[in-house]
Structure 1
Amino acid sequence: MKQDTTKIKYFLYARKSSESEDRQVQSIDDQLNRLKKLAGDLSLDIKKTYTEAKSAKKPDNRPIFDEIIQRIENGEANGILCWQINRLSRNPIDSGKLSWLLQRGVLKSIQTIDRQYLPEDNVLLFSVESGVANQYILDLSKNTKRGMLSKLEKGWQTGIAPLGYLNDKENKIIIKDPERFNLVRKMWDLMLTGNYTPPKILDIANNEWGFRTRKFKKIGGCPLSKSGIYKIFTSLFYTGTIENGGVQYEGKHERMITLEEYDRVQMLLGREGKPRPKHHEFAFTGSIRCGVCGCLYTAETKKKIIKQTGEVKEYTYYHCTRKTTKVKCDQRKNIPVDNLELAIEKEIEKYTILPEFLQWALEGLNEKNDTEIEDRSKVYEMQHKTLAGTQKELDELTKMRYRQLIDDETFIKEKNALQTQVAQLKENLRQT
């Protein structure tokens, strides 16, 4: 039996989330257009229109939906107009609320694009249709997790590839980013020397190499962030290992570093890969260990003022960090850097390089030289691309001023900043 809709006050509700279950659903604007036309055709009394961009798969996740239910219980309306029943609910809790409101007669009508749900209808019909929506979510979740697990077990990471890699959308695999792979590897090389901190490497990459992240539709194409550099240096992905949910999988993508190199960087960063403050760069830190306890040597520079002349002299000393509690270390002396260098020279003089090893070393140096040439080429390409992009931004800014889309103050501020970037990038190109 058809309800007399002229006595019912409706809330119009349109919903679409960005999640996978809603990809095929009409946009909110399309829903509104069709529903308003339907309201006119059926002479429905629409008291208020609501829109919401939230997922319905979990209860208590939609403040607008909760407001509608509360206002219906308060008697402000007694009908809901929506696209389909799955726009109202995809979980049993919200479905139960709607079903109970219908059974009590508080909700007189749920009108969708193709049918009407009434209090006198068999409650089983509404329960089945809302249950189908809920089961769809459960099946989708299971299938998604199953698909992700299958991909991980095959050796391929899900989601967006880390910096230095690209998603091959056609073959559904991860490949090297020809533009950034060598540059990210160069960041690892700088870190592995023990002479550079992550912030220093970040400064070199962004300001000397002109490094920019991948450009997506709405994000990217900008300098690497501080959190981004630490994310690189703490990610097992670069070793050829995929980590997901505490489980490690052997990846099929081309690895960038070895596990030994990864472990060394974690040691340099500090316990559990958390960076420790480092204010100076010293030649031998990260390379020398104590002969007693096995801990790394650290260094510090002290200043001394010569009273007679007022001259300030700096003295650098090395000493054991004594970070272990397992071995009692009696190395308490500070070693001046000059003495340490002499000791290293004396140790090296004890050894003679065999001709075959010399040849092997020269071949290695030639190979390293080829790599450095390729790295310089990649840096040069990145600098050129960044310069062209910055110059384009400057041109677009000028056009916006001509069209009077921005005021003089904003134009001058942005123009000065971009011109400074262009000048710095040109200087970096000359030095590359």
Structure 2
Amino acid sequence: MLELLPPPPADPLWVLTDAFGADARSERLDLVLGVYRDETGRTPVMAAVREAEIRLAERSASKEYRGLSGNTAFNRAVLAMVLGTGPGGPADRAAAVQTVAGSGALRLLADLIHRTRPGATVWISEPAYVNHRPILEAAGLTVRGFGWRDAEGGFDTEGVLRELARAGRDDVVLLQGCCHNPTGVDPLPQDWQALAESAVRGGWIPFVDLAYHGLGDGLEADLLPTRMLAERVPEMLIAVSCSKNFGLYSDRVGGAIVLGASAGAARHAETALQNAARTQYSMPPEHGAAVVTTILEDDGLRASWRAELELMRGRITTHRAVLAAVLSDLGRAGEARTLARQKGMFSMLPLTGEQMLRLRTEFAIYGTAAGRVNIAGIPEHRIPCLARGIAAVTGPSAGSA
């Protein structure tokens, strides 16, 4: 059997990660994987997470099965965090199930789309998160891209609205709720309003991927576009990840939220998601979800978590600003302006694949071939080195307009 398997393509991110691991240069810098790193290069465990784990260990709760929806207290807490708790709000007609991280939520919701709207096209931004298209196509869905950035590297409001006007009433549009991966380019509040109006007018269903909330403009500000959409549209899908903002990368914690025209419709969708989970992994792991629940249900831990999340956000924002300033000092004003207005963990360098290869081979700086770098992975003292590398590979006159 196995000899009939054609050679599959390797995942480009993990190919680069393996190459980084094999690189013997002491000055090498990994800006490929989307993880937060402190000044020592470590991915720290958040203080609130450590305290929650201590409390869970002291309670020594049972390890029995939780059920197909996972940790129901986690589901309630995530619903409240994402959609709010006001009476008569969108959460009243929503249901959530715990998933195997955000990627698992994307896949479960993709299966729900395929089951309920098998002829639907799912529209995704170009560029998009590297795993969006593979997950959707693995669920049997037709995927179509639409442009995201304008000629100056900002959000292309007119172009996006023009392309989405062609989306059918059975179609789904996948939008990243904040901190767009890989570009760092987000719609402005008025752009989100226009996207909501487009959804209502065209009848397409928003599918929001929330993976970086809290790392852009702050937790509440980052959730506002999702909440605004939820208040405007009758149906909506939301994939939630707790990897980045809780630092629970390897614990694989996430949730799938379905917003229906009624509470009854949402409950039917919840059952469909449970059935899909049953055939894929039966039920998600408990530990990480219990950690998140412990934090969100305790006022002190929640305050500690939000304070540390804000410090992480501030550090990312500062590092991006410093990188832009150093680039500007090096005569790269164009690149500096583009970087300065981006948000979140990632930025897209205006470099070609060949220039990114030069960064890797000549300066031991690892980013993706498309130009994405993890701003959250840059130690402060290495920012000038990164800026000099960018200046060197772009040549004497690039970006100085």
TM-score bracket for the superposition, by shorter chain length: under 0.3
Q: Could you tell me the TM-score, scaled by structure 2's length?
A: 0.22
Greater Cα radius of gyration, structure 1 or 2: 1
TM-score of the superposed pair, with normalisation by structure 1: 0.21
